[in-house]
Structure formats: C-alpha cells, structure tokens
C-alpha cells in the first residue's frame, strides 16, 4: 500500500484508521515480545552475575489483569471492524443504483437512464451509489483502491457494494480476482463528477431508452406479460383470465387459466411465501424468482412459472428488474388500470 493513495470516499478514512490501529497494535505486541526476549537474553547471558535462585512469585492478579487487558484490546478491535463492516454492507435507501456485469475481461456498466459503459463508471460526487454486480462467467472482483473497497463478483448471484465518493477525479478500477489469461487487462476507471458535470454527462451520453423501458419490451418478448398481465398488474385465471370488472387486456390465450401475482408495487415490499416465511422483494429476490421460480413460491399461488435460467442474459435480467422496479410507483393507481 502506497501512502500517497488518494482517499476519495467517505469510508476511506475510516478504513485507513482501522488499518493503522491494527498495524500499531501488531507492532506494539511485536515490540513487547521481542523487547522482553532481548532484555532477558542480555540479563541472563552466560557469566552475568545475576541472582538465579529466587523465583518471582506468581500472582493471580497479574495473570488476570494481563489476560483481561489483552482480551479487551483485541475484542475492541474486533467490534470496531465489525461495526465498519456492517455499515459498509448496508447501502442507504436513497442510493443511486448502477448495475455492473463482469465478464472475461471487461466490466459492463448499465445506468438506470439506459447509459452503458465498458470499463468506465461515471458517478456523481457526494451521493451514495449502490453497485449491483454479477458475473457472466467466472468470479471477478470489483476493486477501487481509492475508495478502499473491493467485492467479489460471483456468477449466478447479485453482490452489492456502496460508496459515497467525496471528491471529483479519476480513480483506478481493478479486477482483484485472477480470472484468466487477460486478467491483468481487466482494468478501468471510475470517474467521479460534480453534480452539474454529472448531469451534463448524463445528457450528452446516448442512453437509447431507460433500463425500465427496455425491460418492458423484454417483459413482453419473454412472455412474462402472458401470465403477469400486460403491465404487470397480475392475472386472475379462470374464464376470461381477468378479474370481474377488469378492463385490461386479457392474458395470452395459452396462459389464460394461470393465476399469477401482480408485480405492481412488488419492488421493496414484503412477500409472504408458501412456506410461511416473508421476504423483501429486492433485486436478488426478483432475479431468483425469474431463474428459479420453484425455490420461493408466493403464498397462495401455484408453482407454474417456468424457469428462465439460461434463456435471459445478465444484462436483460437487469432490465427486467428495472422494469419491475418502475412498476412500484404505480401501486397507488393499480386498481384503476386493472389487469
Ligand atoms: C406460466 C405463467 C408465468 C410466466 C410465463 C411468468 N410467470 Fe412469473 N410467476 C408466475 C406465478 C404463478 C408466480 C407465483 C408463484 C411463484 O412464486 O413461482 C410468479 C412469480 C413471479 C415473481 C415473484 C412475484 C412476487 O409477488 O413475489 C416474479 C418477480 C415474476 N414471477 C417475474 C416474472 C418474469 C420477469 C417473467 C418473464 C421472464 C415471468 N414471471 C413469467 C407465473 C408466470
Ligand atoms: Cu476479472
């Protein structure tokens, strides 16, 4: 570690302080052990005229106090580290979500507005950013030393990481997990922009459509709408496939008897499952619901949703989730729009 490494995130000074404390503590223990060793080596060297007869008396008080002091110090360090760790893993609710997909040998970034980048990540300063990350092939590791952050990016699941960059600038991005021949070239940049610069960047970067809009097209393309309704409002099975009085489109004919839960307002809300437990519908849950629907079945629904594992790419999953997330805001008027 170079001491000239910039500390560019809100947690960087805290990580540095913890590291310095651990280093100091280790040095202190090292100095004590080696200091005593040298002291006694010299004191009791061959030929020194020192009294070797009388052994110092052992006292309980001495034994207990040094044991307790050591315990307190190291337990304190542990609590300090645990507290920091928990905070580093808990993104604030208002964090801006950016999706990152790692593959041999690049980082693909998708912004909520539909902007895409490769090996570069533009973020605004002074705002919490949550990265939702996964891999298309092997384990990678997203690492930004200036933010004192790294996290393994594992195929088949979402890993999150959050930070608040506190000074505009360009910082190195590395893959910290040996991932094949070109691992050494899996590097990039995190560009931290001030608020106005970030808005300017968003406006000049072609974003085609927002992630949610692209997800809506996929929702129809993959046939999700056949069961979940054209706008994710759910379907009610039975004759007609729509609830009494509904004015919405009927589900696709082949699925007309399937009753599927509404996805409107799902994101972030608690879902009761058939085994009696309740889970929060976050990115991870929705992703699992699509790839492995049988694992967690929504209470009072049948396990009829087919698995889409292997059919939908990681990037498309991100878009579907963004679409389902965008349905959250429509919960209030879901009653009027119908299925
Ligand atoms: C054959 C009908 C059918 C199709 C097609 C279908 N689903 Fe489902 N889906 C269901 C049913 C039934 C459930 C509830 C049972 C369960 O949890 O597996 C469900 C559950 C879900 C859930 C969890 C909902 C909740 O309230 O917790 C999500 C998310 C979801 N589906 C998304 C999708 C997406 C995205 C697609 C398209 C890629 C899709 N579904 C395609 C029938 C379907
Ligand atoms: Cu890698």
* pLDDT tens per residue across span 112-139: 888 889 999 999 999 999 999 999 889 9
pLDDT at 329 over 60: no
Query: Does ligand 1 lie within 6 Å of residue 302's CB atom?
Result: yes
Torsion sign over Cα 230, 235, 238, 240: negative
Contact (CB, 8 A) for 137 and 104: yes
Q: Packing angle between helix 211-221 and helix 314-326, nearest 10 degrees?
A: 100
Going by CA atoms, what residue is nearest to atom 17 of ligand 1? 297
Give residue 236's pLDDT.
54
Distance from residue 17's CA to the centre of ligand 2 (Å) = 29
Closest to 246 measured CA to CA, from 235, 257, 261, 255: 235
Give residue 56's pLDDT.
77
Q: Comparing 31-40, 92-101, 242-251, which segment has the lowest mean pLDDT?
A: 242-251
Give residue 127's pLDDT.
93
pLDDT exceeding 90 applies to what percent of the chain? 43
Identify which ligand lies nearest to the alpha carbon of 188.
Answer: 2
Query: Does ligand 1 lie within 6 Å of residue 320's CB atom?
Result: yes
Q: What's the mean pLDDT in 293-318?
A: 88
Q: Comparing 137-151, 162-176, 202-216, 279-293, which segment has the lowest mean pLDDT?
A: 202-216
Give 206's Cβ-side CA count (13 Å radius).
Answer: 1
Give residue 212's pLDDT.
86
pTM of the model: 0.70
Q: What is the C-alpha to C-alpha distance for residues 105 and 113, in angstroms, rounded to an integer?
A: 25
Query: Does ligand 1 lie within 6 Å of residue 305's CB atom?
Result: yes
What atom in ligand 1 is closest to the CA of residue 294? Answer: 18
Q: Which domains does the chain have, with CATH numbers?
A: 1-40+91-207 (2.60.40.420), 211-337 (1.10.760.10)
Query: Does ligand 1 lie within 6 Å of residue 251's CB atom?
Result: no
Q: What is the C-alpha to C-alpha distance for residues 202 and 117, in angstroms, rounded to an integer?
A: 12
Distance from residue 178's CA to the centre of ligand 2 (Å) = 6
In tens, the pLDDT along 201-248 reads: 888 887 777 888 889 999 999 988 888 887 767 665 543 344 433 444
Q: What is the C-alpha to C-alpha distance for residues 71 and 77, in angstroms, rounded to an integer?
A: 10
Distance from residue 330's CA to the centre of ligand 2 (Å) = 39
């Amino acid at each position: 570690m170079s001491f000239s490494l910039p500390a560019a995130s809100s947690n960087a000074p805290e990580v540095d302080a913890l590291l310095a404390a651990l280093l100091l503590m280790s040095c202190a223990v090292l100095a004590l052990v080696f200091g005593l060793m040298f002291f006694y080596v010299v004191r009791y060297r061959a030929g020194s005229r020192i009294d070797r007869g009388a052994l110092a008396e052992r006292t309980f008080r001495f034994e207990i106090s040094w044991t307790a002091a050591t315990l307190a110090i190291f337990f304190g360090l542990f609590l300090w580290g645990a507290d920091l760790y928990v905070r580093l893993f808990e993104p604030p609710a208002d964090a801006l979500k950016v999706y990152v997909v790692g593959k041999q040998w690049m980082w693909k970034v998708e912004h909520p507005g539909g902007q895409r980048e490769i090996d570069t990540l533009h973020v605004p300063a002074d705002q919490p950013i949550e990265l939702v990350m996964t891999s298309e092939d092997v384990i990678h590791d997203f690492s930004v030393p200036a933010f004192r952050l790294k996290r393994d990016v594992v195929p088949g699941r979402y890993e999150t990481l959050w930070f608040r960059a506190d000074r505009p600038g360009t910082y190195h991005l590395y893959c910290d997990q040996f991932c094949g021949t070109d691992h050494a070239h899996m590097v990039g940049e995190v560009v931290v922009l001030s608020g106005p610069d970030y808005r300017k960047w968003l406006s000049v970067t072609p974003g085609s459509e927002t992630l949610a809009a692209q997800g809506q097209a996929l929702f129809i393309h993959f046939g999700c709408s056949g069961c979940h309704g054209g706008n994710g409002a759910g379907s009610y099975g039975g004759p007609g496939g729509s609830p009494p009085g509904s004015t919405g489109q009927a589900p696709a004919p082949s699925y007309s008897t399937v009753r599927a839960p509404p996805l409107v307002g799902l994101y972030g809300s608690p879902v009761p499952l058939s085994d009696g437990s309740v889970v929060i519908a976050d990115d991870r849950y929705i992703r699992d619901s699509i790839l492995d629907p049988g694992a967690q079945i929504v209470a009072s629904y049948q396990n009829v949703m087919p698995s889409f594992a292997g059919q939908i790419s990681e990037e498309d999953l991100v878009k579907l989730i963004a679409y389902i997330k965008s349905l959250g805001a429509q919960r209030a008027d879901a009653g009027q729009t119908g299925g």
